[in-house]
Amino acid sequence: MPETNYEKGRAWVELDMESLGHNVSVLRALLPEGCRLMPAVKANAYGHGAVPVARELNRLGVQAFCVATAEEGAQLRRSGITGEILVLGYTHPRRLGLVTQFELTQSVVDFEYAALLEQTSLPLRVHIAVDTGMHRIGERSGQLTRILKIFHMRNLQVTGIFTHLCVSDGRGAEAEAFTSGQAAAFWGLVDELRRRGYRPRAHILNSCGLLRYPMYGGDYARVGIALYGLLSRREDADGTMPELRPVLSVKARVAHVAELLAGEGAGYGLSYVAGRDGRIAVITIGYADGIPRSLSCGRGGVLIRGRRAPIVGRICMDQLLADVTEIPETASGDTAVLIGRDGELEISAYELAEADGTITNELLSRLGSRLSRPN
């Protein structure tokens, strides 16, 4: 896909498909025997753009995806994405038409939900969610009878079963013991099912699961954040981690460069006051585009002409200000990098997430719909 077929006018996302391909290779090399990637492309592929990402993954031979909602699955199908698409979350019965129309696979959040699905008389392909300790969705792994009843439902074709690891990113013996307990509970249940002749595809690994606990196996690895070349936190990576490459950059334009004299204030609340005569660049991106307002007042920066300019004053909804006194060539129309590289320098998604007191997953998935993206 050429990257040039979209507007890089005001504020946009760039995707490095070579890095995505690199991450796919690296993660595939870690897959346990018989396990395939089922990338998580929910929330617009963690803000990257679900369609271009899934299309590239299809091209790389990926034939299974997971999304959060039936609407997300439908969007992928409408764009020609092939392979299995698992809806990880609840779909209201009123929206189940999307699941059948677009040949999606629905997760069963518990026995009662399965009974509701059964009553619709729609022929549904499902994966059963199993709770092994996270206590989010799923039937408890000990509820063999209730789970078997789901297998017996006439309209439901149970093609898979899965659980979710909730401390796979945690350090220390306690987190490791908990994760091992989750795997034991899950595989114990799967063994019981196999003994009764049921062979659903079973999956348990997320990104940290695949990176740290590949021995817990499964037919799919539901990898999200690692595919995008990141982990939730910088410190989640340890020395043994393979090298992953960030896929996404966010860029915007310099709209205007203005003189600001010593003692003059700028922006809402005039919270920035120039300590010397200097220059301020107005950048065409704001918090409505997903740049956290908490990066205001020097806590964040942008890259212009290969150098770093601090964000000054309060970030606005659609614009922000950067002090470019030290980058005198700065001119209207220049590119400003909010996330990504410019020459020798880089601003990583980690840096923004840390400044905002959150994880990369949240930062990326909240990138705004107003950003132009490859299509």
Whether 213 is catalytic: no
47 contacts ligand PLP (rule: CB under 6 A) = no
The verdict on 88 binding ligand PLP (CB under 6 A) reads yes
Binding-site size for ligand PLP (CB under 6 A) equals 11
Name the residue nearer to ligand PLP (CB basis): 109 or 302.
109
Please tell me whether residue 186 adopts helix, strand or coil conformation.
Answer: helix
Answer yes or no whether residue 202 interacts with ligand PLP by CB under 6 A: no
CB of 57 to ligand PLP, least distance (A): 14
* C-beta closer to ligand PLP: residue 206 or 325: 206
Q: How far apart are CA 245 and CA 226, in angstroms?
A: 9
- Indicate the residue among 12 and 65 with the shorter CB distance to ligand PLP: 65
Look at the chain and count its residues. Answer: 375
Q: Binding segment for ligand PLP among 220-228, 246-254, 259-267, 341-349 (CB under 6 A)? A: 220-228
Given 6, 8, 42, 198, which residue is catalytic?
A: 42
Query: For residue 154, how many other CB atoms are within 10 A of its CB?
Result: 8
SS3 call for 126: strand
Q: 25 burial class (0-12, 13-18, 19+ CB within 10 angstroms)?
A: exposed
Give catalytic status of residue 42 as yes or no.
yes
Under rule CB under 6 A, residue 130 binds ligand PLP:
no
CA pair distance 357, 71, nearest whole angstrom? 30
Put residue 313 in one of left, alpha, beta given phi > 0 → left and psi -120 to 50 → alpha. Answer: left
Q: Segment contacting ligand PLP (CB under 6 A): 112-120, 223-231, 243-251, 279-287?
A: 223-231
Per CB under 6 A, contacts with ligand PLP among 48-87 are: none
Q: Does 224 sit near ligand PLP (CB under 6 A)?
A: yes
Looking up tokens 């696979």, which residue turns up?
105
SS3 193: helix
Taking the complex as a whole, the smallest distance from the CB of residue 224 to ligand PLP amounts, in Å, to: 2
**Residues 138-167 close enough to bind ligand PLP by CB under 6 A:** 164
The answer to the question of residue 105 lying near ligand PLP (CB under 6 A) is: no
d(CA 157, CA 192) in angstroms, rounded, equals 18
**Minimum distance from CB of 343 to ligand PLP (Å)?**
30
- Which parts of the chain fold into alpha helices (H)? 17-30, 42-46, 50-59, 70-78, 96-101, 111-119, 144-152, 173-195, 207-212, 349-355, 360-365
Q: Least separation, in Å, of the C-beta of 186 and ligand PLP?
A: 13
**Which of 57, 64, 67, 223 forms a contact with ligand PLP (CB under 6 A)?**
223
Binding-residue pattern over the window 319 to 338 for ligand PLP, x denoting contact by CB under 6 A: --------------------
Question: Over 48-97, what HEC string results?
Answer: CCHHHHHHHHHHCCCCEEEECCHHHHHHHHHCCCCCEEEECCCCCHHHHH
Whole-angstrom Cα Rg for the chain: 23
Residue in 149, 268, 272, 350 annotated catalytic: 268
Where does this chain touch ligand PLP (CB under 6 A) — which range of 76-84, 219-227, 311-319, 327-335?
Answer: 219-227
Residues noted as catalytic: 42, 268
List interacting residues with ligand PLP (CB under 6 A).
40, 42, 88, 164, 206-207, 222-226
